[in-house]
Structure 1
Amino acid sequence: MNTKIVSNVIIPFAVCLLIALAIYPTTILNPEQYSTDGIDLKFDAPKKIAMVEKKEETKDQPVFTPYLGKSFEAFKEALAFKESQGNYFTVNTFGYLGKYQFGKETLKMIGIYNPTYFLNTPELQEKAFIANAKRNKWILRKDIKRFVGKKIGGVKITESGILAAAHLAGAGSVKKYLRSYGANNFADGYGTTVRYYLKRFSGYDTSFITPEKRAKVSI
């Protein structure tokens, strides 16, 4: 019975369908059947349900940029990043403290006798950096005048490089390096040398620092 249905109904229907498709390969649509003429499609979504709202223009608003160039502030921050990655509250394996990694004896020379208070007071650390730089600049004033602009060991000597190296190794070690024309190259406990600091921190504007023989921090 099922075989007869297939033979008598389905097969003839399939043949007719194939013939129709061969004769009329495409179907022509009447676009007028789908016209939207006369239909009001214009509408505005209220703000309460709108998914996106236009933001106000910000072209006149100032944009912050961290670029400091070769300013004194850039000098401080570059040196601090090398010393401690800018961390006020760190103590290294040799006991050096804070953002600029001060030794306790150096702190005493600039009038700070409480290392714990120093470590927990960022403002005091900033003052200490300035005072120590002033003191070093006074100690090295003659060497700054004599050597700035010259090359030693392939490195052009600048005032900022000298002050950075003095922060690392002390003013005395910088004097020895300069006056030996690089033969006496001090290295700290991590292997960082005077020459490296002279090169890395060259060319910054340190004119802000005035030499002061007995520079102290006022707490």
Structure 2
Amino acid sequence: MIKKFLFLIGIALILTAATEVTKKKSPVKADTNPVYVDYNIPYLQKNFVAFKEAVAFKESQGKYRVINTLGYLGKYQFGRTTLERFRIYDTKAFLNNPEQQEKAFIALCSVNKWILRKDIERSVGKTINGIKITESGILASAHLSGAGNVKKFLRSNGTVRFKDAYGATIQMYMKKFSDYDVSVIKADRKAKV
């Protein structure tokens, strides 16, 4: 019960940190004279925190201890070979270490950004198959399919496609995760956890 409570508090803190409140006036009819009422309408900023939480929710509903039917692990659904690239071999310890999972996601984004740096430069702002190409869409797609498959997709102008075992495609990720500000991620071939 306490763990669940702490988890909910953590989610509330994340949402509070990533939320900005705006005021919008909306007319409400009272007799014949319109009355304006202030509404606080929260929205998530499209920053890196919102990006990683959106990816996590898509991958595992944001749960750190999840293992899917194909053996992908944790909040961001890492494959074992990806974890080994970061010298993480104890998957049980990894599942029980949220801090390490967060660091691994950032490191993977940095490596993917380095691998895809030329493709990001050439492709951001273009439209492929009706989808606006953005840096965040590219990084999310690389998380889904690997940087090599994203290169093939971009360099073929969308004719070479990828679909995972659950039916998710590069195009879906390009669209769903577009327009987040991921500029805090620095391209780093040797990123570590």
TM tier, shorter chain?
A: 0.7 to 0.9
In structure 2, what is the Cα distance between the partners aligned to 1:75 and 1:185? 23
Is 2:98 aligned against 1:122? yes
Of 59, 75, 82, which aligns to 2:58? 82
SS at match of 2:81: helix
2:115 maps to a residue whose letter is I
Q: What do the CA deviations read for 1:70-112 (whole angstroms, capped 9, x no partner)?
A: 0110000000000000000010000000000000000111221
Q: What do the CA deviations read for 1:124-146 (whole angstroms, capped 9, x no partner)?
A: 00000000000000000000000
1:178 is matched with which residue? Answer: 154
TM-score (norm 1): 0.69
Superposition deviation, residue 115 in structure 1: 1.0
1:162 maps to a residue whose letter is I
TM-score (norm 2): 0.78
User: Identity of counterpart residues, as a percentage?
Assistant: 63
Is 2:76 aligned against 1:100? yes
Where does structure 1 differ by over 2 angstroms across 4 or more consecutive aligned residues?
64-68
SS at match of 1:212: coil
1:147 is matched with which residue? Answer: 123
Superposition deviation, residue 68 in structure 1: 2.8
In structure 2, what is the Cα distance between the partners aligned to 1:211 and 1:111? 19
Equivalent pairs, count: 154
RMSD (CA atoms): 1.0
Structure with bigger gyration radius: 1
1:216 maps to a residue whose letter is K
Superposition deviation, residue 167 in structure 1: 0.3
1:187 is matched with which residue? Answer: 163
In structure 2, what is the Cα distance between the partners aligned to 1:159 and 1:76? 13
Query: In terms of mean alpha carbon deviation, does 67-76 or 88-97 score higher?
Result: 67-76
2:107 maps to a residue whose letter is A
Unaligned runs of 5+ in 2: 1-15, 20-42
Greater per-residue strand proportion: 2
Is 2:191 aligned against 1:202? no
In structure 2, what is the Cα distance between the partners aligned to 1:184 and 1:116? 36
1:162 is matched with which residue? Answer: 138
SS at match of 1:86: coil
In structure 2, what is the Cα distance between the partners aligned to 1:183 and 1:112? 35
